[in-house]
Amino acid sequence: MDRPCGVFDETYTQDVAVVRTGAHWGIVVAALILLFLLPQFFPGSLLANINAVFITIISVLGLQIIVGYTGQISLGQAAFMSVGAYTSFMLSVYWHLPFLIALPLSGVSAGLVGIVFGLPSLRIKGFYLAMATLAAQFIIPWLIVNLYPEVTGGTRTMVVPPPTIAGIKFTNQLSMFYVITPVLILSLYLVKNLIRTRVGRAFIAIRDNDLAAEVMGVGVFKYKLMAFFISSFYAGIAGSLWAHWMRCVAVDHFSLLDSIWFLGMIVVGGLGSVSGAVMGTIFIRVLDILVKEIGPWLGEIFPSIAGAATASLGPTIFGLVMMLFLVLEPRGLAHRWERVKAFYRLWPFPY
């Protein structure tokens, strides 16, 4: 159905392919090459922003699975990210494990914590579950600070060593870019395919109507826990990358506010869409960077609000964007992009 005029599938392999036509392959390869050449076009501090955006995309992808595909609001994504970050920190500092082992392990540990907070989903759903994840957002940082402060450093900021793969130390933004980008591409590829499998279809069935899904033989509880695990796994991977990229961990990096930002990115990008998660994150982060540029400039024009302008403009504009999208375009940027693509495919016919 979504192929240009005159292109037909002749085999089953063609029918299930993600990349469908020759032109499509060309675009994908060109985009990948461009992606890896990105540091050439954006040197210096812009590259740091790109790294931050890429890490955020991984976390938001996880949230997209639980919110956009399984239909359970999660307010704890930032807390699960912190689990990954601290696991990575402890594994690499105390046990001196190499980065490539610490990375998946932090994903797994975050995933297990995610399952613990997903357990109430046996009996509850919707807003009640949002409450359970809200509790996670308060309990996890508290445990990190108070349970074993001599191990996690309590409220102090702890230093994380740079990641080392095969003897090469990744110390600057440029080299970190080449660590983060492959992980991002792999995550995108996995999520894109996950939602086309039996598991992904079960998630979507639960989102659309959990009772109907149960009646049709989908083990709702099992799949909900699985969604929690995968979602938190992504958060953990993102957290681990974040810790190694920032080269430090602190509880304040992962607050309730960050969780709400992640949710907002999904709303802006479009619920239930992988490209939506990417577009929403980029949109919000670019907006955020612009606001940070405009803030001081506003402060020069109105000196009386100089101090407050920079700090408060971000949440104001972000909240406004989130509300505007919900009221005016609830299906998000991804829906707009689909319309553009449909126009291209059907051209020169209107439908």
Nearest-Å Rg of the Cα atoms of the chain is 21
Contacts 24+ apart (CB under 8 A), 338-341: 341/2
For 158, residues 6+ apart whose C-beta sits below 8 A from its C-beta are: 89, 93, 152, 248, 249, 250
Q: Of 39 and 280, which CB lies nearer to another protein in the complex structure?
A: 280
For 344, residues 6+ apart whose C-beta sits below 8 A from its C-beta are: 4
Output b/e per residue, 231-243; b: 16+ Cβ within 10 A: bbbbbbbbbbbbb
**Cα–Cα distance, 315 to 86 (Å, whole number):** 27
Q: Of 1 and 327, which CB lies nearer to another protein in the complex structure?
A: 327
Looking at this protein, which amino acid is placed at residue 104?
A: P
- Does 296 help bind another protein (rule: CB under 8 A)? no
DSSP state for residue 98 in the 8-state scheme: -
Cα dihedral 206, 211, 216, 219 in deg (nearest 10)? 60
Please list every residue from 312 through 341 that binds another protein, using CB under 8 A: 312-323, 326-327, 330
Question: Minimal CA–CA distance to 66: which of 349, 219, 262?
Answer: 262
- Does 267 help bind another protein (rule: CB under 8 A)? yes
Give the per-residue contact string, 5-24, with another protein (x = CB under 8 A; - = no).
--------------------
3-state secondary structure of 165: strand
Member of 25, 138, 178, 189 binding another protein (CB under 8 A): 138
Stretch binding another protein (CB under 8 A), from 20-28, 46-54, 175-183, 205-213: 205-213
**Cα–Cα distance, 269 to 247 (Å, whole number):** 29
- Does 311 help bind another protein (rule: CB under 8 A)? yes
- Does 128 help bind another protein (rule: CB under 8 A)? yes
3-state secondary structure of 158: strand
How many chain residues touch another protein (CB under 8 A)? 51
Return the bridge partners of 159, or none: 248
- Does 132 help bind another protein (rule: CB under 8 A)? yes
- The beta strand positions in the chain, using DSSP E, are 158-159, 164-165, 168-169, 248-249
Q: Of 184 and 266, which CB lies nearer to another protein in the complex structure?
A: 266
Region for residue 166 given its phi and psi (left: phi exceeds 0; alpha: psi -120 to 50; beta: otherwise): left
Least Cβ distance, residue 248 to another protein (angstroms):
22
Give the per-residue contact string, 101-120, with another protein (x = CB under 8 A; - = no).
----------------x-xx
Please list every residue from 217 through 256 that binds another protein, using CB under 8 A: 256
Q: Of 135 and 151, which CB lies nearer to another protein in the complex structure?
A: 135
- Does 215 help bind another protein (rule: CB under 8 A)? yes
Least Cβ distance, residue 238 to another protein (angstroms):
20
Least Cβ distance, residue 243 to another protein (angstroms):
23
Least Cβ distance, residue 35 to another protein (angstroms):
30
Least Cβ distance, residue 145 to another protein (angstroms):
9
- Does 144 help bind another protein (rule: CB under 8 A)? no
- Does 165 help bind another protein (rule: CB under 8 A)? no
Site for another protein, rule CB under 8 A: 71, 73, 117, 119-120, 122-124, 126-128, 130-132, 134-135, 138-139, 142, 146, 209, 211-212, 215, 256-257, 260, 263-264, 267, 271, 305, 307-309, 311-323, 326-327, 330
